Amino acid sequence: MNKKWTPIAFLCVALCVVASLVLFGCASPGKGVRSAGTFAQTFARGAVAADHEMASQAGAQMLAMGGNAVDAAVAASFTLSVVRPYSCGIGGGGFMVIYLPDDPTHGFVSTAINYRETAPYDQSVAASGISMSNGRYSVAVPGTVAGLLYALEHYGTLDRETVMAPAITAAYDGFVVDESFYRAAMGLHEKYTKNPGLQTSHMRMPWEKFALFGRVKIGDRIENPEHARALELIARDGLDAFTQGQIGQAIVDALAHKAKRRIRGGGITLDDLAGYTPIEMQPIETTIAGKGFIGMPPPSSGGVTMFEILKIMQAKGHNFSDAKLKNASVHVMIEAIKHSFADRARYLADPEFADVPVDELLDEENIRRLAASIGTSVKPSQEYGTHEPLVDDAGTSHVSVVDPFGGAVAMTETINHAFGSRVGVEPFGFVLNNEMDDFTHPSARPNGFGLVQSKKNMPEVGKHPLSSMSPTIVLDEDGQVIAVAGASGGPRIITSTTQVLLNVLGGMDAGQAVAMPRLHHQWLPDELRFESGYNIHILNVLGNPLRGYGHHITDRNVSAIGNVQLIVRDPDGKGWQAACDPRKGGRPAGID
């Protein structure tokens, strides 16, 4: 470089770094932590892929301190509660799949923790005409704090104060509004502008704090000291702070607010909160394409549905080692998706309340039968199953983690729709979920997305609503982790995670695998959607009845089908390729 220019160039670079720190709120990622700055990066020893950079960094800080994948996942989750308040948080619930093949503290662990929300009322209340989609009757008993603390206590290695510290700092110091936050906030603003009645019919959330109602701008900094206070209380007093202490009382008050105005009683009680218990479950394990897959069992539909899709493809002779899209294989994948989603709608629910035939659905004979029924043309919808479709959402977040001990966590959490129920627990700066909308409404009234589900999924006290969340870990023949994945996006979680894992099996690196355009079908409604940029030749053949298979394509320009957070073992031994879906703007972080 010309010497004369060196100081100027140096100054420019320095200014750019400062500007990006200011714009994107990148505080130092922490000692020993490397933060990617791009959506995909390779890390030598451990990695965290969350849909916000600060959450990835929080997790990686735990790895740098010697913590394991569970410590990292818990730290990332509490931080997401601050920086992605429309996607997940302490007012919601989730699932965590843990695989620690050789943890220095816990030895071998393969388990799944269900901390999904539960119903506080049953179908008779639901049948009385209340809204299970919005407002206080849409709120199910939150499980996130109980689940995270359970995971930390049983499978983590660091203390509560340590893993919660980054989240508390993030809440006090603030985070910067990025495009994803902006879109979520403006989406809500638009909804409320179109229907001003909604504003008064719901409890208020901390609107001002989240700078909604059209005033939010990309680059604004949002601090949330009330939420920091909630996290401090949980760090100090544990679960009791959330279920019995000031936070629990604030939740009950937020939901009872209308009763004071003598409109109607109800909501969640302190007993509901205290009675909530996370459930440790055996994950679903299966072998596909010679690899071990570990997924979440019901009440998640994610593991069963994804494995059914992949197994049907396998039975049809799919070449998993080739990621190149071909007309015939994309057609088979769509048909496998439709069969599996039809089964999801008909058979899946909370196994503690309904008979859920997981083994039968994944049984080789059932898979062969379904595979044999797939021909070259599309069938009428009713030939895939009976009429029981499902829901969509925007309020979910996934975190993938690998640690230096070979351990992995796939964790997906949700408050259901963007900003959940929109009921805010104002003194503590967070919103409550609207997970009741994931149940089937007794009137068979379609949910917020015009869809219904099966009777098995009707609300009952203590029941978990059926979920699409699909946290997944893939192992090699020796039981070592080769991929960790999961997504947000309602039913698109299942299709997007499936397609990304197909890309990984086909040899793509993590960045390519998440960036590739995707498709979505969920059996009913009979609508096939493609992201813009999808292979146009395939799209034309599949959609043209004269040339191809007669699929009913309704959209060729979807901007995002799911948001996948992925970690893949580098085939050249360089460590871990981590990729945060560019559709939501996350950045991975890790340790070398």
What residues line the site for ligand GLY (CB under 6 A)? 393, 396, 414, 416, 438, 467-469, 490
Q: Does residue 14 sit in helix, strand or coil?
A: helix
Smaller CB distance to ligand GLY: residue 114 or 329? Answer: 114
State the nearest-atom distance from the C-beta of 298 to ligand GLY, in Å: 12
Smaller CB distance to ligand GLY: residue 143 or 543? Answer: 143
Smaller CB distance to ligand GLY: residue 228 or 494? Answer: 494
State the nearest-atom distance from the C-beta of 158 to ligand GLY, in Å: 28
d(CA 487, CA 411): 9
Q: Answer yes or no: are the C-beta atoms of 438 and 465 closer than 8 Å.
A: yes
User: β-strand 563-569 against 481-488: which pairing, if any?
Assistant: antiparallel
Residue found by looking up tokens 């505080």 in the block: 27
State the nearest-atom distance from the C-beta of 342 to ligand GLY, in Å: 17
State the nearest-atom distance from the C-beta of 542 to ligand GLY, in Å: 27
State the nearest-atom distance from the C-beta of 494 to ligand GLY, in Å: 9
Smaller CB distance to ligand GLY: residue 71 or 438? Answer: 438
Closest C-alpha among 422, 490, 403, 406 to residue 73? 403
d(CA 488, CA 506): 23
Q: Answer yes or no: are the C-beta atoms of 439 and 448 closer than 8 Å.
A: no
State the nearest-atom distance from the C-beta of 414 to ligand GLY, in Å: 4
In the set 118, 243, 396, 412, the catalytic residue is 396
d(CA 423, CA 136): 6
**β-strand partners of 396:** 414
Instruction: Give how far Cα 312 sits from Cα of 335, 337, 367, Å.
Output: 9, 9, 6
Smaller CB distance to ligand GLY: residue 68 or 467? Answer: 467
Give the 3-state DSSP-derived string for 309-337, with helices as H, strands as E and coil as C.
Answer: HHHHHHHCCCCCCCCCCCHHHHHHHHHHH
Phi then psi for residue 537, to 5 deg, are -65, -45
12 burial class (0-12, 13-18, 19+ CB within 10 angstroms)? Answer: exposed
State the nearest-atom distance from the C-beta of 50 to ligand GLY, in Å: 17
Smaller CB distance to ligand GLY: residue 79 or 467? Answer: 467
Residues whose CB is less than 8 angstroms from the CB of residue 150 and which lie 6 or more positions away in sequence, other chains included: 113, 115, 278, 280
State the nearest-atom distance from the C-beta of 467 to ligand GLY, in Å: 3
Smaller CB distance to ligand GLY: residue 389 or 490? Answer: 490
Smaller CB distance to ligand GLY: residue 133 or 162? Answer: 133
Phi then psi for residue 279, to 5 deg, are -120, 130
State the nearest-atom distance from the C-beta of 411 to ligand GLY, in Å: 13
Q: What is the DSSP string of 154-191?
A: HH--S-HHHHHHHHHHHHHH-EE--HHHHHHHHHHHHH
Q: Answer yes or no: are the C-beta atoms of 121 and 439 closer than 8 Å.
A: no
Instruction: Give how far Cα 393 sits from Cα of 1, 275, 327, 434, Å.
Output: 52, 27, 29, 10
d(CA 439, CA 540): 37
State the nearest-atom distance from the C-beta of 487 to ligand GLY, in Å: 10
Residue found by looking up tokens 């009330």 in the block: 226
Structure tokens at 377: 């043309």
Smaller CB distance to ligand GLY: residue 396 or 535? Answer: 396
Q: Is 396 a catalytic residue?
A: yes
Structure tokens at 443: 């009137």
Q: What is the DSSP string of 328-373?
A: HHHHHHHHHHHHHHHHHHHH-S-TTTS---HHHHH-HHHHHHHHHT
Indicate the angle between helix axes 160-173 and 69-83, nearest 10 degrees. Answer: 20
What type of residue sits at position 69?
A
Smaller CB distance to ligand GLY: residue 35 or 396? Answer: 396
CB-nearest residue to ligand GLY: 467
Q: Does residue 517 sit in helix, strand or coil?
A: coil
Task: Catalogue the active-site residues.
Answer: 396
